[in-house]
């Protein structure tokens, strides 16, 4: 699965939220200043080329929808992060975030409970 640019990810988050929509409605969800219609349309077509988005005709336009689910992309992105920055070690990644973000004991207990719940 290909990595997305920041702009492509922003559009994908809107598509994951709306599920099926047109370019005009995607633009409505974007923060000010709104990008040009052609800019968003180009990004959507790039997402289609990359295999993340498909469409169906609606009158003279198109309704776009995601064909890659958010959890699939999230899993792949986390794995890429771990491989590229932590030599494939989730332990190293967690240790890094704990040290850099000054995680307190209460948060650590909560994380451990969640891990244990998912491993049961």
Q: What is the 3-state secondary structure (H, E, C) of the chain?
A: CCCCCHHHHHHHHHHHHHCCECHHHHHHHCCCCCCCHHHHHHHHHHHHHCCCEEEEEECCEEEEEECCCHHHHHHHHHHHHHHHHCCCCHHHHHHHHHHHCCCCHHHHHHHHHHHHHHHC
pTM: 0.75
CATH 1.10.10.10 spans which residues of the chain? 6-66
pLDDT in tens, 49-86: 999 999 999 999 999 999 999 999 998 888 888 899 89
Fold of 6-66: Arc Repressor Mutant, subunit A (1.10.10)
pLDDT in tens, 28-57: 999 999 999 999 999 999 999 999 999 999
């Amino acid at each position: 699965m290909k990595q997305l640019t920041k702009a492509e990810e922003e559009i994908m988050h809107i598509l994951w939220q709306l599920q099926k929509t047109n370019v005009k409605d995607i633009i409505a969800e974007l923060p000010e200043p709104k990008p040009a219609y052609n800019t968003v349309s180009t990004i959507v077509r790039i997402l289609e080329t990359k295999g993340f988005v498909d469409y169906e005709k609606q009158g003279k336009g198109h309704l776009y929808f995601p064909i890659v689910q958010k959890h699939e992309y999230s899993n792949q992105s986390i794995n890429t992060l771990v491989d590229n920055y932590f030599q494939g070690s989730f332990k190293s990644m967690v240790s890094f975030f704990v040290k850099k973000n000054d995680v307190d004991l209460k948060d650590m207990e909560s994380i451990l409970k969640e891990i244990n719940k998912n491993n049961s």
